[in-house]
């Protein structure tokens, strides 16, 4: 099974050029985490103010569907060229503020199809220890530890699934891997088309009628 840390790295490789869509993307793509978006400082001042106001009363652990919906509305109100320029930037905190040549080294690992997927987290970790310093290295370690903790919690919950739920979960995970593989092969323009399509879907994929 792909670890949460590895899955997060693959998600980064895809979303470097994609748009977060706050719960309205195609099937299999989870909504972003609750809280202020990591790209807040990259937004125009007015949008920063609106989004900060949206999240001011949010408490960690609470549901955040309303806040995500309002955040999505603010993002969709921005000109398309502004949204694209923002979301081309790496969303993970340990890459923020780094020189372009350093980011390019991480990006090269994410996009190198000759590197087996299972080996990418190890290579990213080695690169981080080599090139990151200070606050960026600290943020990488925090990110890694958080993902490893989440992975352990996931495995514990997975072990308690009923046989039917376990089988369904394995099938859904396989579909998710297929989707990531397909997205990795697409040109940026095609990705833009798909994310714009998924963004316009009000409540996710249509449910089958019984």
Instruction: Tell me 166's DSSP state.
Output: H
pLDDT of 162 reads 96
Q: From CA 138, how far away is CA 94, in angstroms rounded?
A: 8
**127-179 tens-digit pLDDT:** 999 999 999 999 999 988 988 898 899 899 999 999 999 999 999 988 888 88
Q: Give how far Cα 75 sits from Cα of 11, 15, 67, Å.
A: 20, 16, 12
**DSSP-derived 3-state class of residue 45:** helix
Within 10 angstroms of residue 29's Cβ, the number of other Cβ atoms is 22
Q: From CA 106, how far away is CA 24, in angstroms rounded?
A: 28
Helices (H), the chain: 4-15, 45-55, 65-77, 80-87, 100-111, 120-131, 134-159, 163-185, 188-199
pLDDT of 182 reads 84
**56-95 tens-digit pLDDT:** 999 888 888 888 889 888 888 888 777 777 755 555 778 8
Q: What percent of the chain has pLDDT over 70?
A: 76
Q: Which of left, alpha, beta for 141 (phi over 0: left; psi -120 to 50: alpha)?
A: alpha
pTM greater than 0.75 (yes/no): no
What is the arithmetic mean of pLDDT over 30-39? Answer: 75
pLDDT of 50 reads 93
What is the arithmetic mean of pLDDT over 6-25? Answer: 46
pLDDT of 14 reads 39
């Amino acid at each position: 099974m792909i670890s949460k840390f590895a899955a997060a790295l693959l998600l980064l490789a895809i979303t470097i050029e994609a748009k977060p869509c706050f719960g309205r993307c195609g099937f299999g793509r989870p909504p972003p985490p609750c809280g202020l978006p990591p790209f807040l400082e990259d937004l125009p001042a007015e949008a920063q103010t609106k989004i900060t106001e949206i999240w001011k009363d949010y408490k960690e652990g609470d549901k955040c569907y309303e806040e995500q919906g309002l955040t999505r509305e603010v993002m969709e109100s921005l000109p398309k060229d502004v949204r694209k320029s923002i979301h081309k930037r790496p969303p993970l905190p340990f890459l923020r503020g780094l020189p372009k040549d350093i980011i390019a080294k991480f990006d090269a690992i994410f996009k190198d199809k000759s590197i087996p997927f299972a080996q990418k987290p190890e290579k990213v970790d080695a690169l981080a220890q080599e090139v990151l310093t200070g606050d960026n290295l600290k943020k990488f370690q925090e990110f890694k530890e958080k993902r490893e903790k989440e992975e352990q919690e996931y495995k514990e919950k997975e072990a308690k699934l009923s046989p039917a739920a376990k089988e369904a979960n394995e099938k859904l995970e396989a579909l998710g891997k297929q989707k990531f593989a397909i997205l990795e092969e697409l040109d940026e323009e095609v990705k833009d088309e798909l994310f714009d399509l998924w963004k316009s879907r009000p409540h996710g994929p249509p449910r089958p009628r019984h």
